[in-house]
C-alpha cells in the first residue's frame, strides 16, 4: 500500500474528495498547506489522518508515515521540496506547471534518479478519456501518421488567482491589492478572490475608459522588454504547458519550429457588471496576455496549432482536440453531454458533468509506476521538453519572431 502525502491543498478536496477511496494500492494519509484552516478542512474531507503546515514539519514529525508526495500547488521553491522528498526516499508527482519555475539543471530531479525514486510530472489532460482514446487510435495505426493537430483550450479569467498563488512575493502582492481594493472598491482582496468566479471581463475601447485609480497598482511583475528573458511564469504560458505536452506526445517528438502570437488582456475585472465603474480591477500587471496561439512545426511535415484563451465569461471551460492523420481523423472535446427533455413546447437541456475521473487516472498511473517499478506515464524528459517548447514560445511571443530548433536549443530566426 503506497501512502501519499498531498503538498498544497488548492482544489484537492474537490478533485480527490470522492475519488480517494477508489485508488488501488494507495491511500492519502497526509495533507500539507500553510493555511491551517484549509489543511484541516481538506484532511477531514479526504480522510487523511496527518496534517502539517510545511513539508519540513511533516518530514520531521512523520517521515516514516508516507511513501510518496503529490505536489499540486505553486510554492516558492518547488525544487527544494522535490530534493527533500528524494533525499527522504519519497516518490514525487509534481504538477508539470511548476517545472517552469525551476532553474534548468537544478539537481532536484537528478536527486530523484540517484535515490531510485519515481519522479512524474503531472498534467491531467493526457488522462481525459476522450484524449486517451484518440491517442490509442493513433498508436494502433488506425489514423496513420499524425499530420495536423488543433487544440482549443478556453477558460474563464482565473489569471488573478494563478499569479497570486504562483508569486514568490505573495504577501506583498496581497498587500498591494488590498490597498487598491480599499481605495477603489471598498472591500478586501480576500473578498474579491472569493467572488472572483462570479466576475466577467469587459475590455475598454480606449485607455481613457480606465479610471486613474485603476492604473496605480504597484505590483513588481513587469513585462520583460528583453525577448531573451520572457516572463515564463506568466499565467498564459503556464496554462499552455499541458497543451504543448499533449502535442509533443501526439507527434512523439520536439517541434522544429515554434511561433507564438497573442492578445494582451488589459481589460479590468468588473464586479456587479460594467455599469459599476468604481468596481473594477485592472488585471494587466498580472498577465501580459490573455489569449495566445502557438504554432508548432514537427519533423516530417506535422503541424500543431494550440489556441489558448483566458477570456471566457465565468462558467465552464472548453477543451477540444482534432487530429488529422494520413489514414483518418479523430475529434474529442469536453463539451458536456446534453439530455433533451420533451414535454410539450420547447425542449429542456440538462447537462451531464464529466466528473473528475481523469484526476484519479493520473494518480493511479503514478501509483502503478511505483508498485511495478516501471517508468511513469509522463517522464521527467517529457516535462523538460514541454517546458523547453513553452519557453521558446515565450521568446517568440515577446519578440514577434519564430524560433527554430538548432541542435538541442531553440534560436530566434
Within this chain, do residues 367 and 303 fall inside the same structural domain, yes or no? yes
Whether residue 70 is found in the same domain as residue 188: no
Q: Which pLDDT score is estimated for 155?
A: 79
Residues 154 and 111 in one domain: no
Judge if 200 and 60 occupy the same domain.
no
Residues 205 and 109 in one domain: no
Question: Across 163-208, where does the E strand assignment appear?
Answer: 200-201
Q: How far is 13 from 3, CA to CA, in rounded Å?
A: 17
* Closest by CA position to 108, among listed 135, 88, 132: 88
Give me the number of domains the chain comprises.
2
Residue written as grid cell 484526476: 359
Tallying the residues shown for the chain, one arrives at 413
pLDDT one-digit tens code per residue, 124-169: 999 988 899 999 999 999 999 999 999 998 877 654 444 434 443 3
Which pLDDT belongs to residue 405?
A: 97
Tell me: do 232 and 94 sit in the same domain.
no
Which of 398, 394, 393, 399 is CA-nearest to residue 297? 393
The reply to whether 192 and 281 lie within a common domain is yes
26 inside domain: yes
Whether 332 and 133 have beta carbons less than 8 Å apart is answered as yes
CATH code, domain carrying 346: 3.30.360.10
User: Do both 337 and 209 map to the same domain?
Assistant: yes
- If asked whether residues 192 and 278 sit together in one domain, one would say yes
Q: Phi, psi (5° rounding) for residue 3?
A: -100, 125
pLDDT of residue 235: 66
292 forms bridges with which residues in the sheet? Answer: 262, 308
Which pLDDT tens digit goes with each residue over 7-34? Answer: 988 766 667 777 777 889 999 999 998 8
Q: From first to last of the 413 residues of the chain, give the pLDDT tens digit.
A: 999 999 988 766 667 777 777 889 999 999 998 888 888 988 988 889 999 999 999 999 999 999 999 998 765 567 888 999 999 999 999 999 888 878 777 788 899 999 999 999 999 999 988 899 999 999 999 999 999 999 998 877 654 444 434 443 344 444 544 554 444 444 444 454 443 333 332 323 333 433 433 332 222 333 333 434 444 345 677 889 999 999 999 999 999 999 999 887 544 443 333 333 333 344 444 445 778 999 999 998 999 999 988 777 665 678 889 999 999 999 988 666 555 666 666 666 555 555 678 888 999 999 999 999 999 999 999 999 999 999 999 999 889 999 999 999 999 99
Residue-level pLDDT at 354: 55
Residue 140 maps to a domain: no
Q: How far apart are CA 203 and CA 269, in angstroms?
A: 9
pLDDT value for 148: 97
- CATH number where 19 lies: 3.40.50.720
Amino acid at each position: 500500500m503506497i501512502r501519499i502525502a498531498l503538498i498544497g491543498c488548492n482544489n484537492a478536496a474537490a478533485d480527490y474528495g470522492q475519488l480517494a477511496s477508489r485508488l488501488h494500492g494507495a491511500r492519502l494519509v497526509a495533507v500539507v498547506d500553510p493555511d491551517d484552516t484549509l489543511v484541516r478542512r481538506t484532511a477531514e474531507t479526504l480522510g487523511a489522518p496527518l496534517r502539517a503546515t510545511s513539508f519540513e514539519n511533516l518530514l520531521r514529525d512523520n517521515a516514516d508515515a508516507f511513501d510518496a508526495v503529490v505536489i499540486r500547488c505553486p510554492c516558492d521553491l518547488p525544487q527544494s521540496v522535490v530534493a527533500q522528498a528524494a533525499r527522504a526516499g519519497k516518490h514525487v508527482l509534481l504538477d508539470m506547471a511548476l517545472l517552469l519555475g525551476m532553474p534548468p539543471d537544478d539537481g532536484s530531479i537528478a536527486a530523484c534518479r540517484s535515490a531510485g525514486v519515481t519522479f512524474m510530472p503531472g498534467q491531467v489532460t493526457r488522462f481525459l478519456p476522450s484524449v486517451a482514446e484518440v491517442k490509442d487510435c493513433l498508436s494502433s495505426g488506425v489514423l496513420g501518421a499524425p499530420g495536423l493537430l488543433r487544440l482549443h483550450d478556453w477558460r474563464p479569467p482565473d489569471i488573478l488567482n494563478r499569479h497570486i498563488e504562483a508569486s514568490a512575493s505573495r504577501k506583498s502582492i496581497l498587500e498591494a491589492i488590498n490597498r487598491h481594493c480599499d481605495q477603489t472598491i471598498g472591500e478586501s482582496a480576500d473578498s474579491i478572490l472569493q467572488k472572483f468566479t462570479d466576475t466577467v471581463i469587459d475590455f475598454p475601447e480606449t485607455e481613457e475608459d480606465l479610471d486613474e485609480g485603476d492604473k496605480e497598482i504597484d505590483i513588481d511583475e513587469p513585462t520583460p522588454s528583453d525577448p531573451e528573458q520572457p516572463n515564463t511564469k506568466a499565467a498564459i504560458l503556464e496554462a499552455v504547458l499541458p497543451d504543448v505536452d499533449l502535442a509533443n506526445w501526439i507527434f512523439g517528438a520536439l517541434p522544429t519550429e515554434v511561433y507564438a502570437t497573442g492578445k494582451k488582456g488589459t481589460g479590468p475585472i468588473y464586479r456587479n457588471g460594467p455599469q459599476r465603474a468604481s468596481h473594477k480591477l485592472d488585471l494587466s500587471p498580472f498577465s501580459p496576455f490573455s489569449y495566445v496561439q502557438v504554432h508548432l512545426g514537427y519533423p516530417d511535415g506535422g503541424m500543431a496549432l494550440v489556441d489558448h484563451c483566458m477570456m471566457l465569461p465565468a462558467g465552464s471551460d472548453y477543451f477540444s482536440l482534432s487530429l488529422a492523420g494520413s489514414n483518418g481523423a479523430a475529434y474529442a472535446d469536453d463539451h458536456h453531454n446534453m439530455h433533451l427533455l420533451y414535454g410539450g413546447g420547447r425542449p429542456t437541456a440538462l447537462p451531464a458533468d464529466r466528473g473528475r475521473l481523469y484526476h484519479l487516472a493520473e494518480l493511479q498511473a503514478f501509483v502503478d509506476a511505483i508498485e511495478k517499478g516501471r517508468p511513469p506515464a509522463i517522464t521527467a524528459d517529457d516535462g523538460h521538453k514541454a517546458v523547453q517548447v513553452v519557453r521558446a514560445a515565450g521568446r517568440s511571443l515577446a519578440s514577434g519572431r519564430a524560433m527554430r530548433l538548432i541542435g538541442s536549443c531553440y534560436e530566434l530566426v
